[in-house]
A and B are shown apart, each in its own frame.
Chain A
Amino acid sequence: MLLFTPPKSNVMMDYQRAIVLGVASVVVVTAVVSGPLVPGVTLTQEHDVAYGEGNATVAGVQFPDRVTVERASYGQEGYYLDIPPATVQFTSLSGSPTVTYRLSVAELGYSRSTVHFLDDGVGKRFEVTLQADSFGADELSRESYAGTLDVVVDDARSRRVVGQRNVTVEVVG
């Protein structure tokens, strides 16, 4: 089979071969350099930041007006809690503090929070979100509940509530 292949474009073949071999060598050499055979080189760096350090001064927090519990769709039963994000306005921010966004509904004995880890990439305005949660079909009996939203900052100084708002949690659908 190979004997009958015309010796077409040997130059092209060589150039292709060079590219393929070149890429393969770069991959292999990089891998070897990363390993213990070449000490002192680390290509994998752990995102190793001590959170809860640094400083954050908060000018204010804008909370959403309305928190809803919506009936699930697409054939899933029960309800999903849908909490719009809040916006935290910083006057100064340094280091790596954490910001916690929290909802508590005393009547249901319920509370849920999501912690956000801040680092250098965060600007003066930061949107905090709260992860959705589900409720069983029989867990909610009323049309609305009184709840509290708050935002907690944890930095080198202290752990403190920087904003709070009472909201009505409406059951929709």
Chain B
Amino acid sequence: MSTDTVVGRRLDRKRLTRVRESVVAVLFGDRVGLALFLGCACLFALFWRTTILITDTYTLANGLYSLSNGNVFLTEAVYGPSLDTPGTEYYRGNPIARNYGAIVLSLPFWALLEGLGAVVDLRIGIVALWSLGLLAFVVTLGRHLDSETVVAGGSVLVLAVFGLNVALARPLDSASTHLYALQLFHLTVAAFAPVLLYRLVRRMHTSRVGTLTAVAFTLGTPLALWATVPKRHVLTATVVVAVAYCLYRSRMPTDGVLMRRPATFRALAYALVGLYAWVHAPEALLLAVVLALVDVPTAPENSPRTLLLVAVAFGLSLVPFFVTNALVAGSPIRPPRLLAVAGSGGGSGSTGTAAAGSGSGATSTGILTVLAPLFTAIEPVVEPLLLLGGELLVGAQAIVSQPSELYHALVRSGYTAGTVDLSNEEAVNLSLLESAPVLLALAGVVASLRGRRRRPSIPSRILSGPRVVDIFAILLLLGVTLQYASRLPIHAQITVRYLFPLYPLGIYLLIRLPVLRATLAENYRLFAWTVAGSIAVGGQLVVVVVALTTNGLGEAFQFHALLSLAVAIPLGVWAVAGSSDGWSGRVGAVLLGVTTALPALFGLLTAVEYYALGDTHALPMVRALGELLPLL
């Protein structure tokens, strides 16, 4: 062996390390981001049940089945009773699936699972993948903490857990890989949401604040519960956070390895929205409008070159969407779901949509008829905008005319026509606050405003990165609420999933409040121990109370709801009082810790017990836990 090859090999290894570091930097930001991704993915897998939670998923699974056989139209009902499942539309007699973006992007996951199934037993394969992910998490965490104990001890623990899972393993139906692929795709995208939120907040503040934000988002909202459910909600959340991140980077000098100009990030923000249109056009439209409204007026420069770059990126990102529309609906600009709003009154909802949905269609078509001659040329652009405007208007009307409905959706669910399940028996649809009680800390905005003196000067047109993202978050929060206000509360929501983007946006705004940020940063150990203690010890108490005092699903859900509110109210009071000093800060950290832990507990019990869905958990140990613990 010559010295040349040794040097060459060393160089190769160095280059390999550099490539690896660049990949980690681009995808996860840094090692903490990578650890968050791995940790979240492994956590979400605990909630994974290899079956259907909401009937809409049949449409997607059959869509992926058809696509894997080369058909864009639905061919046969491999999943579910028939092709007539919620979300299926017809074009010239051909059944069309929905959320094509999610279906197409799940194809690689399907190929992976099929490949895996060819060499290993599918159940053991999934358990092995999960164990390797956990091992990678342990190693990343150990390296970050510079702790040999974490690496070595963690590895041994992973081996033990792997052994336990294999010992408990039962076969997994290898025919349903399309469904598993969809679930795995959604899980993967969902795991990026906390990572992106971490990266955003780390750049604005510190790495520690970023990590705490990601933890609060992962555990303190229903993210984990929805991560493995093939509904668009976790995709929306990830896209929203990613757009906020790009918006922020577009206002800052670049320092990364891939993007050299801030304007590129601006283009990327629009491209993400365009790509999301492929999944769910009506929400992407709202996102595009809010983004443009916030971005263009506040940008440091709007030169023709920059605007062209943004327009080209947006246009290119819409290509898959246009191509799919052209294939399934005969016209590039007619997404089946947007048509549905104008046509039948079926909104972007799932199983059945409230009558108000058709109201939005009627309003906008009314305006359209009057102005039709003017808009013939630009109709493709104007029509969707009018539809969106109509939807928001109907939402605003609904808030004014029926404020109690919104109260049930946002604050207290209880037993009402909108919050019970389809058989009208069990109140199993929680409100936004009951699903994420930590959000009541947003009441701290009162304290922030009180402490601020009125500024006499008119603020500059060009806004800083944090300010732009703040405005984007607030506007989008209002927009999403208005878009769905007329339909809420409605069944099959569990945690107001239509308003899912409100969870990351709320957590982001929460951490932007100086008092909240200081409280968490200064008492992070207390916060972390409170979260861990509330889940480990408080969780057992909750299990006992549920077992002793509740007889059914509705009672159990409403118990969780009241528990959430009971802790949220002191948190709200504390936030209004607004002090992070001394004992007040410690009280705040404890309240934030408990409110962060409660949704994680509710999510776990929902996945393991309330909606165990025939004990179909992907991980054998979770299934065994559910079988050991008969609660209701």
User: Which residues from chain A sit less than 8 Å from chain B, CB to CB?
Assistant: 2, 12, 15-16, 19-20, 22-24, 26-28, 30-32, 34-37, 42-47, 70, 72-78, 80-82, 129, 131-134, 136
Q: Is the CB of A31 within 8 A of B549?
A: no
Q: Is the CB of A46 within 8 A of B170?
A: yes
Q: Using known A-B contacts A77-B427, A134-B425, A134-B552, determine if residue A44 contacts B559 with beta carbons closer than 8 Å.
A: no
Known: A28-B132, A45-B170, A80-B552. 11 other contacts (CB 8 A): A15-B152, A16-B151, A23-B159, A23-B162, A24-B132, A35-B119, A35-B121, A42-B121, A44-B169, A75-B415, A76-B554
A74: min CB distance to chain B, Å:
4
7 pairs, CB–CB < 8 Å, chain A vs chain B: A19-B151, A28-B132, A35-B120, A35-B125, A72-B554, A75-B413, A136-B424
- Smallest CB-CB A-B distances: 9 pairs: A80-B551, A35-B120, A76-B554, A74-B558, A34-B121, A31-B128, A34-B124, A132-B551, A77-B415
Query: Which residues of B (280-320) have their CB < 8 Å from a CB of A?
Result: none
User: Which residues from chain B sit less than 8 Å from chain A, CB to CB?
Assistant: 14, 17, 118-121, 123-125, 127-128, 131-132, 135, 139, 148, 151-152, 155-156, 158-159, 162, 166, 169-172, 413-415, 424-427, 549-552, 554-555, 557-559, 561-562, 630, 632
Q: Report A-chain residues with C-beta under 8 Å of the C-beta of B139.
A: 20
Q: Is the CB of B155 within 8 A of A19?
A: yes
Q: Is the CB of A20 within 8 A of B425?
A: no
CA distance A75 to B14 in the complex (A): 63
A172: min CB distance to chain B, Å:
12
Q: Using known A-B contacts A2-B17, A32-B119, A75-B427, determine if residue A44 contacts B151 with beta carbons closer than 8 Å.
A: no
Q: Which single member of A27, A46, A76 contacts B132 (CB below 8 Å)?
A: A27
Q: Using known A-B contacts A23-B155, A73-B549, A134-B552, determine if residue A30 contacts B166 with beta carbons closer than 8 Å.
A: yes
B510: min CB distance to chain A, Å:
27
Q: Using known A-B contacts A19-B156, A23-B159, A31-B128, determine if residue A44 contacts B555 with beta carbons closer than 8 Å.
A: no
Q: Report A-chain residues with C-beta under 8 Å of the C-beta of B172.
A: 44
Q: Is the CB of A36 within 8 A of B119?
A: yes
Q: Report A-chain residues with C-beta under 8 Å of the C-beta of B135.
A: 20, 23-24, 27
Q: Is the CB of B559 within 8 A of A74?
A: yes
CA distance A151 to B27 in the complex (A): 60
Chain B, residue nearest A3 (CB): B14
CA distance A12 to B149 in the complex (A): 11
Q: Is the CB of A20 within 8 A of B549?
A: no
Q: Which single member of A23, A73, A131 contacts B156 (CB below 8 Å)?
A: A23
Q: Which single member of B128, B155, B552 contacts A30 (CB below 8 Å)?
A: B128
Q: Is the CB of B125 within 8 A of A31?
A: yes
Q: Report B-chain residues with C-beta under 8 Å of the C-beta of A129.
A: 630
CA distance A12 to B562 in the complex (A): 51
Q: Using known A-B contacts A43-B124, A44-B172, determine if residue A78 contacts B132 with beta carbons closer than 8 Å.
A: no
Q: Is the CB of B152 within 8 A of A76?
A: no
B174: min CB distance to chain A, Å:
11
Q: Is the CB of B162 within 8 A of A27?
A: yes
Q: Which single member of A2, A26, A31, A134 contacts B554 (CB below 8 Å)?
A: A134
Q: Report A-chain residues with C-beta under 8 Å of the C-beta of B413.
A: 75
Q: Using known A-B contacts A20-B151, A23-B135, A35-B119, determine if residue A43 contacts B551 with beta carbons closer than 8 Å.
A: no
Q: Using known A-B contacts A27-B135, A76-B554, A134-B426, determine if residue A43 contacts B121 with beta carbons closer than 8 Å.
A: yes
Q: Is the CB of A81 within 8 A of B169?
A: no
Chain A, residue nearest B157 (CB): A23
Q: Is the CB of B425 within 8 A of A44?
A: no
Q: Report B-chain residues with C-beta under 8 Å of the C-beta of A23.
A: 135, 155-156, 158-159, 162
Q: Using known A-B contacts A32-B119, A34-B124, determine if residue A26 contacts B159 with beta carbons closer than 8 Å.
A: yes
